[in-house]
């Protein structure tokens, strides 16, 4: 049953990203979180990350950014924000946002990823994410100034 539900849910989330409807996205996520258990929501989050990675490979950075953001929101809602994978997804989201030209969002995700990597003692990625956070923040400031 779960094998049938997951693709349908991911497809519905993808459709709302494609439509660019953030309020619909929040309602969708709230509905998902209230209806499914932690295991299913983790699987949905994992599928969103996988889909985002595939979209990045096709150059669909806006779609990938949305899927990473949804995966992060699901993990936050089910209490997985302290898990190592959470920082990794934030880092991936920062990369996708930067490639999509959303440097302010990229900066925010890179900073959070750096903090998460630090909590887990992953120094190499902490430093990399921190450097990227600063680079994205500079570009964000320039874009905002215009």
pLDDT digits (tens, 9 = 90+) for 8-53: 555 555 554 444 445 445 667 777 778 889 999 999 999 999 999 9
Please state, for a pLDDT cut of 70, what percent of the chain lies above it.
80
Going by the DSSP 8-state scheme, the letter that residue 81 receives in this structure is T
Domain spans of the chain, in order of start? 24-145
User: pTM for the complete prediction?
Assistant: 0.81
Lowest mean pLDDT among 29-38, 45-54, 72-81, 93-102: 29-38
Mean pLDDT of 96-110: 97
Radius of gyration (C-alpha) of the chain in whole angstroms: 15
24-145 adopts what CATH topology? 1.25.40
Distance of CA 36 to the CA centre of its chain: 20
Indicate the SS3 state at residue 29.
Answer: helix
């Amino acid at each position: 049953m779960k094998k049938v539900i997951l693709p349908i849910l991911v497809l519905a989330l993808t459709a709302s990203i494609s439509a660019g409807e953030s309020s619909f996205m929040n309602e969708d996520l709230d509905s998902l979180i209230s209806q499914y258990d932690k295991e299913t929501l983790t699987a949905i989050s994992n599928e969103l990350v996988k889909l985002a990675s595939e979209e990045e490979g096709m150059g669909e950075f806006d779609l990938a950014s949305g899927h990473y953001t949804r995966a992060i929101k699901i993990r936050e809602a089910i209490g997985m924000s302290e898990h190592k994978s959470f920082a990794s997804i934030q880092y991936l989201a920062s990369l996708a946002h930067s490639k999509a030209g959303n440097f302010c969002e990229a900066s925010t995700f890179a900073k959070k990823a750096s903090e998460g990597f630090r909590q887990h003692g992953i120094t190499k990625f902490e430093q990399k994410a921190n450097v990227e956070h600063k680079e994205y923040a500079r570009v964000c400031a320039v874009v905002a100034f215009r």
